[in-house]
Structures are given as C-alpha cells and as structure tokens.
Amino acid sequence: MRTNRNVAFALLLLGSAVLGGCGGADVNQHVSTVSQGKELEDLKRALEQGAIDQSEYDKLQKKILQRGY
C-alpha cells in the first residue's frame, strides 16, 4: 500500500515537471482595441501634421496592412 502511494506521488511529480516545461517558448500576441482603419487614419494625420515623413508613413502603412487585423 505504501509502495503504491510512493509510485503515485513519483508519477505526480514527474507529470508536474513535464507539464511545467510546456509553454516556455516566446509567444508574440498582439491584442488591439483599435481598428486597422483607425490606425491608418491616425497615421495619415501624423503625416499631415509633420510628425512623420513620407518614407516613415509608407513603411508603417505597409506594416499595418500586412498585419491584417
């Protein structure tokens, strides 16, 4: 009876160690409450107000459109 309890405990520890290693990889998630259209409008406004130049605008616009959110 004691041996069964020790085996069960050892399996529990082993299972915890194995599962503890799951999910250790880097995860890149993007959560946004801003629509793609709003981002593009804000980007256009930044260009018009001189906050960014045309090359920065083009680069960022492409990045927003490639994300597809």
Summarised one tens digit per residue, pLDDT across range 34-63 is 899 999 999 999 999 999 999 999 999 999
Please give the pLDDT value at position 32.
Answer: 66
pTM to 2 decimal places: 0.53
Structure tokens given for 24: 């250790």
Q: Which residues contact 61 (CB under 8 A, 6 or more apart)?
A: 40, 43
Length of the chain: 69
* C-alpha–C-alpha distance, residues 7 and 13, integer Å: 10
